[in-house]
Amino acid sequence: MSARTFPGGIHPAYHKLTAGSPIRDLPPPAQVVIPLHQHTGAPCQPLVQKGDTVRKGQKIGDVEAVVAAPVHASLPGKVVAVEPRPHPAGRDVPAVVVEWDGSDATVDLEPHPDPHDLEPTRIAEIIREGGLVGLGGAAFPTAVKVRPPAGTVIDTYILNGAECEPFLTADHRLMVENPQSIVLGLRALMKAAGAPRAIVAIEDNKPDALEAMAAATRGMPGVSVEAVHTKYPQGSEKHLIKALLGREVPSGGLPFHVGVVVSNVGTAAAVGELFATGIPLVSRVVTVTGRVREPANLRVPIGTPFSVLVEAVGGFNGDPLKVIAGGPMMGVAQYSLEAPVVKGTSGLLVLGPEDRVPEPTSCVRCGRCVESCPMRLLPLYLEAYYRAGMIEQTEALHAMDCIECGCCGWVCPARRPLVQSIRLAKLEITARRRRAAS
């Protein structure tokens, strides 16, 4: 297997402290807080109210919108509140709060262990009803992803096992410990999308995962496992497609425009569980790492507060400076440890005072940000134009193509807040486009 890659990118210290830590099931917490908006698309409306009793796997929120995914109770018990609560995205979001009753009462489950017997549209329906979204972080509804617009031909399904963000190892452990679920999920996803072939892409710093997935897919027609070069952001959809197939997703386009669907291996594992057992998406694996006493990979019910995760790994190791949901490159700093694990939470990273980033100084025009940008943008100019209020110029320099990977800021010797400025420029461009269209 030869390692493939793309131009640009960086090689940060990977700090995969938990690469050898088997996934541990966390005992259910006393309460789960299940946000009604955990995906890209329209938020769900509650289907329960305070005082109701729910079973594990019961649908508690849904919405009639194409781009959406229902949410389910992750524990059985009593609904004690339906109200706005802190969300890892950084704002309060309506949530259903369930107090666990100590039982394992679960809804009646309908497994489909052989997805090949089902029509593609039926597979997509099951995936939607199971509440599946991309577990890599973006949380795009999986049922929408596997059914692109009519007339689109999908020739390749890519399973993303790169896990290129430093510190995170949840996908790595899933591939080593649970390859059969990933394979079952992949079969369902390929059938739904009509893809005749699939590539499982794994960074070459995970030889045990490469081995486990190669063994699990052996003999599967059209499926191969490929090593990709260990480089950030290798796990970006567009860069995986470029590295594996040499295809460029056009500016403003999506993978299906070049005949590809990309899903995370964690998503495939959850799809596999759904088909094998009938259980909707009610738990996930989270890497809890950084400056904590016992970094670990924990399988937890969706809605488990971050404070419970920190306690489960022995607490903070020293004074925390910052707690991040996700990895250090693309994660979101938290303002409350009462925010819960949502479907897209791949990790919880604690940084200490030693990790403090120095104050920014003036740009020295070294060009390193340009060299590192995997989207071939000009981050120094994008930032300068944004700060000068010249939004049209940021748009002309393709700010909307920025994938917010953070490579430019990471290499910048002046510690310019490049990605923060570009993110704000994108928000302003989007707002202007909306105003112009209305």
Contacts to ligand SF4 by CB under 6 A: 363-369, 372-375, 377, 379-380, 402-408, 411-414, 416, 418-419, 422
200 with 215: CB under 8 angstroms? no
Query: Minimum distance between the CB of residue 103 and ligand SF4, rounded to whole angstroms?
Result: 47
DSSP annotation of 433: H
Residue 324 buriedness (CB in 10 A; 0-12 / 13-18 / 19+): buried
Query: Minimum distance between the CB of residue 163 and ligand SF4, rounded to whole angstroms?
Result: 18
Query: Minimum distance between the CB of residue 369 and ligand SF4, rounded to whole angstroms?
Result: 3
Distance of CA 254 to the CA centre of its chain: 17
Whole-angstrom CA distances from 410 to 142, 218, 413 are 31, 39, 8
368 with 10: CB under 8 angstroms? no
Which residues, 6+ apart, have CB-to-CB distance to 93 below 8 Å? 35, 36, 37, 43, 84, 85, 87
19 with 169: CB under 8 angstroms? yes
Query: Minimum distance between the CB of residue 150 and ligand SF4, rounded to whole angstroms?
Result: 32
DSSP annotation of 340: B
Query: Minimum distance between the CB of residue 331 and ligand SF4, rounded to whole angstroms?
Result: 14
Query: Minimum distance between the CB of residue 295 and ligand SF4, rounded to whole angstroms?
Result: 27
Nearer residue to ligand SF4 within complex by CB, 317 or 420? 420
Nearer residue to ligand SF4 within complex by CB, 56 or 229? 229
Sign of CA dihedral 9, 13, 19, 25: negative
DSSP E strand boundaries for 291-395: 296-301, 322-325, 332-333, 347-351
The tokens for 263 are 């899903």
Nearer residue to ligand SF4 within complex by CB, 49 or 361? 361
Nearer residue to ligand SF4 within complex by CB, 186 or 402? 402
- Residue whose structure tokens are 């470029």: 242
Query: Minimum distance between the CB of residue 200 and ligand SF4, rounded to whole angstroms?
Result: 25
Q: 7 preceded by cis ω (within 30°)?
A: no
Nearer residue to ligand SF4 within complex by CB, 102 or 253? 253
Nearer residue to ligand SF4 within complex by CB, 18 or 372? 372
Nearer residue to ligand SF4 within complex by CB, 113 or 413? 413
Query: Minimum distance between the CB of residue 294 and ligand SF4, rounded to whole angstroms?
Result: 33
Q: Apex CA 358: angle with CA 352 and CA 359, to 5°?
A: 130
Distance CA 111, CA 274 (A): 7
